[in-house]
Amino acid sequence: EKGLNIEHNYSQEDAIEEYLKTPATTTSKAIYHKSCVCGVKGTDTFESGKILGEVKNLAMSSTEIIYGDTYSVNCDNNENVTIEYKYSWTIDEDYSTEKPTRAGTYVARVTTTETETHTSASKTINFEIKPKKLENIHKELVYNSFEHREVLLDDIESGLLLRLQFTSKNVGAELIDAKVSQVVGENGLEDICSNYELVLEGQNACTFEIVPKELEMN
pLDDT at position 119: 96
Strands 104-112 and 121-130: antiparallel
Query: 116 and 108 in contact (C-beta within 8 Å)?
Result: no
Predicted pLDDT at 216: 82
Contacts of 196 (CB under 8 A, 6+ apart): 67, 131, 132, 133, 134, 160, 183
Question: Of 129, 150, 156, which is closest to residue 208 (Cα–Cα)?
Answer: 150
Per residue, the 3-state secondary structure of 67-113, as one string, reads CCCCCCEECCCCCCEEEEEEECCCCHHHCECCCCCCCEEEEEEEEEC
pLDDT at 210: 73
Per-block average pLDDT, block size 10, for the chain (218 residues)?
72 95 96 94 95 96 94 91 96 96 95 95 96 83 63 65 64 53 56 71 82 76
Cα(139)–Cα(175) distance, integer angstroms: 10
How much is the pLDDT for 135? 84
Kindly tell me the burial class for residue 104, based on how many C-beta atoms sit within 10 Å of its own C-beta (0-12, 13-18, 19 or more): middle
